[in-house]
Amino acid sequence: MGKGDSIIVAVRVRPFNDREKTRNCKLVIEMPDEETTVIRDPKTNDEKRFTYDHSYWSHDGFSEKKNGYLEPTDPHYADQRRVFEDLGRGVLANAWAGYNCSLFAYGQTGSGKSYSIVGFKNNKGIVPIVCEELFKQIADNKKKNMQFEVFVSMMEIYCEKVRDLLSSTPPPKGGLKVREHPKNGFYVENLTTVPVNSFKEIEAKIEEGTKSRTIAATQMNATSSRAHTIVKITFNQKSSKQAGGTSMKKSEINLVDLAGSERQSAAGTEGDRLKEGIVINQSLTTLGRVIKALHDSQKAKSGKKTQIPYRDSVLTCLLKNALGGNSKTIMIAAISPADINFEETLSTLRFADRAKSIKTNAVVNENQTERALRELREENLRLQSQIQGGTAGDASNEEIEKLRRQLAENQKEMEEMEKSWQQKIAEEAAKHASGASEKVEMEAKKKKMCHLWNLNEDPALTNVIVHFIPVGESVVGNKPTSSGNFIQMSGLSILPQHVTLKNDGNNQIHLSPCSEDLDIFINGKPVHGETQLQQNDRVFFGGNHLYVFNNPTKKGIRTDITYENAQAEIAQNHAAALGNRGLGGGSKRDLILEEELMSTLPLVQRANAMATELGRNVKFEIVLVSPEMRGLTSGLTEIWVKVHNISEDTYFLWEKSRFMNRYYGMQEMYEAKQDGSEDWNMPKERDPFYEPPDSPVFIASSVVFLQSLAYLIDVEEQFPIVDLSGQEIGLLTVGLSPCSTTGKELRGEYVEDPDQLIGKNIAFKVKVISAVGLPRRILKSNCKYRFFGSKKMTTTATVSGNTPAYGHEETFQFKPVTKEVADYLANSNLYITFWGTQRPRGASSRKNSISTIGSNEAREGPNKAKRVERLVHQAKTSENRNISVKALETVLKGVDDNENRKTRKQSMKKAGSTTIKSRSGSKKPKAK
């Protein structure tokens, strides 16, 4: 490797994905030479420069060969072969030399970690090529006195639990145990280790592991991007000496595909009491801390030992050698090229930069078998006497247990050493038929028989599960039936008998739901009765199961179906069915919104399904919240989640990031229950479904017209208070007074044109006086708004009751008024938002009464000009130059009532929000 023992760090940038293309993303990465990566901040255009051992440009400059391989058309482009030649070759050479090697891939979800490590189809990644080459080289090196052994294991770390991916028995409660061996360090107890004889066998094993990952992710409702996958290959070279005895070189190769590195946005946890309760990914967070500690201690040099927190997570225990011990280590940092991922990419580049300085200390693992055996025997004698002494003496049970375990481990190691390779292979073969032929069989079957294949948000887990549909009737469900054909699907929302699939023998397949109210969708549309499946149909069985139907005896099988477009059609049909504004309007804003909706909708559905299964009386619902609704004058419509706690009859609004945080907590709780854990049921303060009534919640908002100020007219007006579903729930009384800069209210100094204010020193007083009609459940509330140019939100006092008198006054000075200020007053509105705490049901009246106070007051609309004209006219002629509500009502009486209502509706749609009912959610809570 030629660089001493520093970790080798490579950065690789992938092409734009579909999402980035439709969004017209800008490229922010440049790689001017083979080592340098430059990232540009899309906001400021500032550039940051990093150097690594390798900077791989895989963004453009390639074309797709017939067999799907992406080959360079420009020498700048780094293809899979090149990455293997640079990094994989080194891994192989080190394995032959008897070093331990580790290769890990870091980066946000979708950045290309799996692509580099495992690869897709003909674009094989490092793992398969290393394995293939290893067996080739073994074949080339076969000598009489040499014996080669290769073993493989595969595991996943999810929520600090280790799952054996090659085990055929059900996983133990709480996962496999991680133990520490005094000499060899941390290891996973009872992890399946399979001897393999060929590349085909190892490939079949990795496929088997991927399949169990997919099944577990679907069943546990887990997000695969949050799991770490480790493939471990052990390579032993045994040579018998002429003088007798054998020596063995041993290399352990750890290939680690890390969980997505995306950080939780701070906004999501801000003010959320639960933030301590949910550990998003302890292993990944700890890895960051370990790398930082190693980096700092390397830099400090002064011999000052820093404590490295390896023990704080399962992943860092298992990677201890890879990071700071006996290993030659390589890190690939995968990055997105797009501006929208700038923050994440920068954070990945920084992480990779810190990793560069870390040094490991690899040694050749070579020993004389006979001596090793002798040492193990001696140690075991010592252990035995210690155990005997301990049981008699004062050693704790725990210590004795530990000694016993060590003894057992040693014994196992000795047995393995004494067993011949042929014995090991024969034992493995006896366990089950070879996996390789199974796969061939399945591929052949796929060409003949109707089947469903799975879609997963992770492309690596897509088309991994296949269900064949034989002639006759098959039941799909989570409990095998005693008779007939059965297709197992487990997890969220799947009933013991969910649907039946009938194959009439001519490859006509009919699907019938077993119950009326199931969430079954075909191509995004709900189905209730018997339906015949057509070629390429996307079938959503509820919860987490999405499949594509193919009839291989017929033409027209599509190859372009992805998880994303299958989700998109569900979201689109969903929105359309609710009569919502057409999504997919084509503008960038619409695209972003559609995409957000698409990614959030399935999560909200699953959250509802989890709530039902965990006995939480809570309903989640997506709401689209306009920037105006949030008290902002500009910005994008956002997706928030409305939470209705039915037992306490409280409502909350979570921003998407907060929902995501909570969602992960729900997943963990669900998984703990599935896992049979006794303490899955969280107390209220740690329950991700629960929000205490005194958490501040967004209630509603009001749009306040400012035009009067543009004409220096003093008004006191009432404005409708509109809740998220666009309903008028009450009225807010606001006073707006032009003032001198000393605070004296100006009366009668109106102007005819707002431009006349420009250059004058004027102050504007905003009075948030009182509100009526807030929901009864509101205990205390306050209002927030942002006046032109203010950096901070202005907040009123917090007042009890549903007819609060806020009595708030704030003066905003302009010395002088600029054109922007004059324009703002003349054309913009002040968006006032209401926030409050709630009283849970039982504490007061049970009804969620939201009084609607009839008002004909129009919000903004085409009558604005006319309205202003009248207002000014009134002001001029009125004795009392302070325009009152009465006067305004008189002004508005002149406007046609019908038109008025229409205008109001339109403007509310614009300023308000749209509610989207989740498919599996309850009826939208209707305000009365």
Pick the closer one to ligand ADP by CB: 217 or 704. Answer: 217
User: Binding partner of residue 454 among Mg ion, ligand ADP, none, CB under 5 to 8 Å per kind?
Assistant: none
User: Binding partner of residue 58 among Mg ion, ligand ADP, none, CB under 5 to 8 Å per kind?
Assistant: ligand ADP
The answer to whether 774 touches 721, Cβ cutoff 8 Å, is yes
Q: How far apart are CA 835 and CA 817, in angstroms?
A: 31
Q: How far apart are CA 206 and CA 302, in angstroms?
A: 45
Closest distance of CB 333 from Mg ion, Å: 14
Return residues touching ligand ADP (CB under 6 A): 14-15, 17, 58, 70, 107, 109-115, 120, 225, 334, 459-460
Q: How far apart are CA 441 and CA 468, in angstroms?
A: 12
The helix-helix angle for 885-893 and 864-877 (nearest 10°) equals: 130
Pick the closer one to Mg ion by CB: 125 or 524. Answer: 125
Question: What is the 3-state secondary structure of 636-681?
Answer: CCEEEEEEEECCCCEEEEEEHHHHHHHHHHHHHHHHHHHCCCHHHC
The answer to whether 785 touches 806, Cβ cutoff 8 Å, is no
Closest distance of CB 376 from ligand ADP, Å: 40
Give me the count of residues in the chain: 928
Q: How far apart are CA 599 and CA 592, in angstroms?
A: 11
User: Binding partner of residue 334 among Mg ion, ligand ADP, none, CB under 5 to 8 Å per kind?
Assistant: ligand ADP
User: Residue 381: how many CB atoms within 10 A of its CB?
Assistant: 11
Q: Does 111 carry a binding-site annotation?
A: yes
User: Binding partner of residue 107 among ligand ADP, Mg ion, none, CB under 5 to 8 Å per kind?
Assistant: ligand ADP
Q: Does 790 carry a binding-site annotation?
A: no
Q: Does 394 carry a binding-site annotation?
A: no
What are the residues whose beta carbons fall under 8 Å from the beta carbon of 405, sequence distance 6 or more? 179, 189
Q: Does 110 carry a binding-site annotation?
A: yes
User: Binding partner of residue 167 among Mg ion, ligand ADP, none, CB under 5 to 8 Å per kind?
Assistant: none
User: Binding partner of residue 421 among Mg ion, ligand ADP, none, CB under 5 to 8 Å per kind?
Assistant: none
Q: How far apart, in Å, do the first and last CA atoms of the chain sit?
A: 73
Q: Does 838 carry a binding-site annotation?
A: no
Q: Return the SS3 of 123.
A: strand
Q: Does 115 carry a binding-site annotation?
A: yes
Q: Does 458 carry a binding-site annotation?
A: yes
Q: Does 61 carry a binding-site annotation?
A: no
User: Binding partner of residue 126 among Mg ion, ligand ADP, none, CB under 5 to 8 Å per kind?
Assistant: none
Q: How far apart are CA 660 and CA 850, in angstroms?
A: 30
Pick the closer one to ligand ADP by CB: 59 or 630. Answer: 59
Closest distance of CB 107 from ligand ADP, Å: 5
- Cα–Cα–Cα angle for 390, 391, 392, nearest 5°? 90
Q: How far apart are CA 563 and CA 548, in angstroms?
A: 10
Closest distance of CB 533 from ligand ADP, Å: 27
Q: Does 283 carry a binding-site annotation?
A: no
Q: How far apart are CA 471 and CA 468, in angstroms?
A: 10
Closest distance of CB 212 from ligand ADP, Å: 18
Closest distance of CB 331 from ligand ADP, Å: 14
Return residues touching Mg ion (CB under 5 A): 113-114
Pick the closer one to Mg ion by CB: 113 or 200. Answer: 113
Assigned token pair, 523: 């191509």
User: Binding partner of residue 109 among Mg ion, ligand ADP, none, CB under 5 to 8 Å per kind?
Assistant: ligand ADP
Q: Does 112 carry a binding-site annotation?
A: yes
Pick the closer one to ligand ADP by CB: 261 or 550. Answer: 261
Q: How far apart are CA 508 and CA 534, in angstroms?
A: 9
Closest distance of CB 114 from ligand ADP, Å: 3
Closest distance of CB 49 from Mg ion, Å: 28
Q: How far apart are CA 342 and CA 13, in angstroms?
A: 12
Closest distance of CB 70 from ligand ADP, Å: 6
Pick the closer one to ligand ADP by CB: 115 or 690. Answer: 115
Q: How far apart are CA 283 and CA 272, in angstroms?
A: 22
Q: How far apart are CA 224 and CA 110, in angstroms?
A: 12
Q: Which residue is nearest to ligand ADP (CB)?
A: 112
Closest distance of CB 58 from ligand ADP, Å: 4
Pick the closer one to ligand ADP by CB: 333 or 527. Answer: 333
User: Binding partner of residue 773 among Mg ion, ligand ADP, none, CB under 5 to 8 Å per kind?
Assistant: none
Pick the closer one to ligand ADP by CB: 260 or 730. Answer: 260
Q: How far apart are CA 156 and CA 228, in angstroms?
A: 5
Pick the closer one to ligand ADP by CB: 337 or 921. Answer: 337
Give Cα separations from 643 to 225, 258, 841 (angstroms): 26, 33, 15
User: Binding partner of residue 17 among ligand ADP, Mg ion, none, CB under 5 to 8 Å per kind?
Assistant: ligand ADP
Q: How far apart are CA 209 and CA 217, in angstroms?
A: 12
Q: Does 240 carry a binding-site annotation?
A: no
Pick the closer one to Mg ion by CB: 218 or 550. Answer: 218
User: Residue 794: how many CB atoms within 10 A of its CB?
Assistant: 17
| Annotation: binding site for ADP | 110, 112-115
| Annotation: binding site for ATP | 107-114
| Annotation: binding site | 107-115, 257, 458
| Annotation: binding site for Mg(2+) | 114, 257, 458
